[in-house]
Structure 1
Amino acid sequence: MTPRVLVLPGWLNSGPDHWQSRWEALYGDQRVAQHDWETPRRGDWMARLEEVLLQDERPALLVAHSLGCILTAAWAAHSLNTARVLGALLVAPGDTEHPDLGPQLPSWAPIVRQPLPFASILVGSHNDPYCRFDKAQALAQAWGSHFVDLGARGHINAESGLGDWPEGRAWLNTLNKG
């Protein structure tokens, strides 16, 4: 059975030039549309992910960016349906514990730091303005994720010049063991 790919954008969603949006257009991935992109509440976002996951019997691969990574860890710690997920590609996690970001996202700290119950790859950048490189590495270790050093690519978003980002898609495909 071919898994579906669920796209989990970060805070404020992913624009049309973001690699997540490009993957939706190229591969038919499904964005988990949140009810409120501007003032996200962790519980609401977790419930929405659960709702979308349960709409289809097929197993899923998660493709998370920024706050979507923090969502993945929080959801996995509480859901009884994690067995439906084959793996997760976690890209440029947002540090919701940082003093500059935390007040804007009050329900997102502390970050859940328990191993994910499925395979995962975390991709980090040396110059991500929303998460220090060593923090991204520490999150990968806490979550049991394979860590990929992408070099200095900012927040690994539309401004990073990745285009369709075939390298990222190849990493996602390694998680498809379904």
Structure 2
Amino acid sequence: MGGDVLILSGLWNSGPQHWQSHWEARHPAWRRVAHRDWNNPQRDEWVAELDAAVASSTGAPVLLAHSLGCMLAVHWAASGSPLRAAGAFLVAPSDVDAASYPIDPNGFAPVPLARLPFPSLVIASTNDEFVTRERALAFAEAWGSRYVEIGPAGHVNADAGYGDWPEGERLLLEFLDQLRT
């Protein structure tokens, strides 16, 4: 695995107290994929922005995704892009098919349920307001992902007490090590 780590934030980007922001500050080589509009995401635009970031990466990158960023990763994988990812670390994938999703899914629904063409890990909470435990497990099974349940962790964001989240970073670093072997 010689590529970059690309951070895929969800709706509204990840604020300064979010674990993605903490990890990005600690690992300056990791890059957050920028979007023109964080508040009204359009699937095709976000997929194109991710494709451009993958194209500018050194080797196949690892996708470090949270929330809608997970849906972005799976839509990108299904987009037909000739580019490849080395793997995906998918935390709290939002269920854009559910009534609980807070905005119009703007093309992100339905959730792609094809096997991902790269290794992946889904990390889910038992009480996430944006995805049920059952749906998160179904996503992991459909995508061919390893599934890790971390208990009642809400949406695994700063509001749920997951600011720095050292346990998650440890899981990510283990995942990166596995991709290197």
Range into which the TM-score falls when normalised by the shorter chain? over 0.9
Question: Map of 1:47-66 to 2, 5 A cutoff?
Answer: 47-66=48-67
> Which segments of 5 or more consecutive residues in structure 1 lack a partner in the other structure?
none
> Which segments of 5 or more consecutive residues in structure 2 lack a partner in the other structure?
none
2:11 paired residue number = 11
Q: Relative to structure 2, which stretch is displaced further, 28-37 or 101-110?
A: 101-110
2:82 paired residue number = 80
- SS of the equivalent of 1:62 reads strand
Percent identical across equivalent pairs? 43
Residue 108 of structure 1: how far off its partner (Å): 1.1
Q: Relative to structure 2, which stretch is displaced further, 4-13 or 157-166?
A: 157-166
Residue 30 of structure 1: how far off its partner (Å): 0.7
Residue 105 of structure 1: how far off its partner (Å): 1.7
Alignment TM-score, normalising by the size of structure 1: 0.93
Question: Map of 1:7-156 to 2, 5 A cutoff?
Answer: 7-28=7-28, 29-78=30-79, 79-82=81-84, 85-101=85-101, 104-156=104-156
Residue 88 of structure 1: how far off its partner (Å): 0.8
Contact 1:53–1:60 (CA under 8 A) maintained in structure 2? yes
* Separation in 2, partners of 1:52, 1:162: 26
Sort the Cα spacing of 1:103 and 1:65 in 2 relative to 1 into closer, same or farther, 3 A: closer
- SS of the equivalent of 2:86 reads strand
Instruction: Name the aligned partner's letter for residue 46 of structure 2.
Output: W
- SS of the equivalent of 1:75 reads helix
Instruction: Name the aligned partner's letter for residue 81 of structure 1.
Output: L
Instruction: Name the aligned partner's letter for residue 125 of structure 1.
Output: S
* Separation in 2, partners of 1:106, 1:159: 25
* Separation in 1, partners of 2:149, 2:54: 29
Aligned residues: 176
Alignment TM-score, normalising by the size of structure 2: 0.91
Instruction: Name the aligned partner's letter for residue 51 of structure 2.
Output: E
* Separation in 2, partners of 1:58, 1:89: 17
Sort the Cα spacing of 1:167 and 1:103 in 2 relative to 1 into closer, same or farther, 3 A: closer
Alpha carbon RMSD of aligned pairs, Å? 1.5
Sort the Cα spacing of 1:161 and 1:101 in 2 relative to 1 into closer, same or farther, 3 A: closer
* Separation in 1, partners of 2:60, 2:96: 29
